[in-house]
Every structure is written in structure tokens, then in C-alpha cells.
């Protein structure tokens, strides 16, 4: 399985092109919130940026707490699949996520990265990378 990593965030310029791509292409929305990846400054623009994105936990705490079977662990490689029809909007998944990767919209619908990698091409600074989940030592990690 593939997973998305925000491997080189030191390079990020805060353009939000990745979030817009995800919202547009995956969720068919115009937004910088309702997306699998969200960019925040780490405390004002002078401190650089961080990506709020699913780390593909294995096992996934968000799936473990989902009471309705909407958030389910992927078969391999960590991370989750989200079945919108089964979601009762209790928000437990977002609460359980240790890195705030799940966004609840104004109607408490969860948005989470599905590791499809469609955002990657839209990052002008190659901050993002889609890689095999088995690859423990990805090329870009740690290298600016």
C-alpha cells in the first residue's frame, strides 16, 4: 500500500495548493478545510509551516473508536478508509487522532486523507511524497 508523507515541510511556502487539490479532486469542494491535508503555520508565518495529515497509524486509533464502522482500518499499510454513508457524525475519530489529521466540517462530517497522492503533483516545492508503506527509509525523509 502507498502512504502520503509530508516529508520535506521545511520547504513549504504556505501556498495551500495541496489542500486545494485534495478538496477539489477528492472531495469536489472549494475549501482549505475540507481536505485530507491542511496547512497551518507553526505559530505565525515566521515560524514555517506544518501539515496536518494522516500518519497512517497501524493500528489506527481513529478506526478503533468509531462506533458505527464508518472509519475502518485499511487492509495493509496503516491508515483508514472512510465510509461516508455509515458515519453518524459523533466526532470520536477526530478526538482520537493524535495529530489532528481528521477535520470535522461545520456539520461534523469527517475529512481524512485516503493516501491517494493526488495532492503531490500540486506541491511546487516537492514537500510531499507518496511512498510504499513498507519503505521504512524513504528517500526524502529528513533531507531538506
Partner 1 sequence: MIRDYFKILVVDLETGTGKVENIEGRDIYIGGSGLGAHLFNLYGYPERPWDNPEQPLIFSIGPLTGLFPLMSKTVCSFKSPYHDQFAESHAGGRSALALKFADYDALVITGKARRLSCLSIGMRHLEVRDIQFLAGKDVFTTGKILRKMYPGSGHRSILRIGSAGENLSAMACINADTYRHFGRLGSGSVMGSKNLKAIVIQGDGSFALPENKSYPEVYRKVYEKMTATDMMSKYHNLGTAANLSTLNELKSLPWRNLQATADEKIDNITGEKFADEALLRNGACAGCPVGCIHIGFVREKFMEQNQYLYRQVAYDYEPIFSTGSMLGVTDPFAVLGIMDEIEKVGLDVMSGGVALAWATEAFEKGLISEKETIVPLAFGNSDSYKKAVMYLGEARNEFYKLLGSGSLVAASKYGGEDFACVLGQEMAGYATGETFYVAESLGFRHSHLDSSAYSWDQKHDTKDENEICDVLIAEESARSYVTSMVACLFGRGVYTLEQLTECLESVGYDKIAENMQESGDRIQALRWKTRFDTGYNPDKIKIPKRYLNVTTWKGKTDPVFLDRLKEKYASRIKELVSAESLKNLKIDIKSK
Q: Residues 22, 128: contact at Cβ < 8 Å?
A: no
Binders of partner 1 among residues 34 to 73 (CB under 8 A) are 34, 38-41, 43-46, 48-49
- Shortest distance (Å) from residue 118 CB to partner 1: 10
- Shortest distance (Å) from residue 104 CB to ligand SF4: 12
**CA 85 distance to own-chain centroid:** 20
Q: Report the largest interatomic distance among the alpha carbons of the chain, rounded to a whole angstrom.
A: 42
Partner touching 101 among ligand SF4, partner 1, none, CB below 5 to 8 Å by kind: ligand SF4
Burial class (CB in 10 A: 0-12, 13-18, 19+), 107: exposed
Number of shown-chain residues binding partner 1 (CB under 8 A)? 31
How far is residue 116's CA from residue 6's CA, in Å, rounded to a whole number? 13
Task: Say whether 91 sits in a helix, a strand or coil.
Answer: coil
Count Cβ atoms below 10 Å from residue 127 Cβ, excluding itself: 22
- Shortest distance (Å) from residue 136 CB to ligand SF4: 18
Q: Which is nearer to partner 1, 51 or 63 (CB)?
A: 51
How far is residue 117's CA from residue 112's CA, in Å, rounded to a whole number? 13
Partner touching 26 among ligand SF4, partner 1, none, CB below 5 to 8 Å by kind: ligand SF4
CA proximity to 100, closest of 62, 48, 133, 47: 62
| Residue 3 binds to ligand SF4 (criterion: CB under 6 A) | no
Partner touching 131 among ligand SF4, partner 1, none, CB below 5 to 8 Å by kind: none
Which residues contribute to the site for ligand SF4 (CB under 6 A)?
Answer: 4, 12-18, 21-22, 26, 35-37, 39, 49, 51, 53-57, 60-62, 79-80, 96-97, 99, 101-102, 112-119, 122-125, 127-128
Amino acid at each position: 500500500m502507498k502512504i502520503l508523507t509530508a516529508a520535506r515541510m521545511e520547504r513549504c511556502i504556505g501556498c495551500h495548493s495541496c489542500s486545494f487539490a485534495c478538496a477539489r479532486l477528492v472531495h469536489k469542494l472549494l475549501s482549505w478545510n475540507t481536505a485530507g491535508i491542511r496547512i497551518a503555520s507553526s505559530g505565525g508565518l515566521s515560524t514555517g509551516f506544518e501539515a496536518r495529515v494522516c500518519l497512517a497509524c497501524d493500528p489506527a486509533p481513529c478506526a478503533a473508536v468509531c462506533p458505527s464502522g464508518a472509519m475502518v482500518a485499511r487492509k495493509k499499510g496503516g491508515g483508514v478508509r472512510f465510509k461516508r454513508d455509515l458515519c453518524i457524525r459523533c466526532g470520536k475519530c477526530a478526538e482520537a487522532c493524535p495529530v489532528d489529521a481528521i477535520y470535522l466540517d461545520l456539520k461534523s462530517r469527517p475529512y481524512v486523507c485516503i493516501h491517494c497522492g493526488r495532492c503531490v503533483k500540486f506541491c511546487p516545492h516537492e514537500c510531499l511524497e507518496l511512498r510504499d508503506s513498507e519503505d521504512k527509509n524513504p528517500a526524502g525523509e529528513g533531507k531538506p
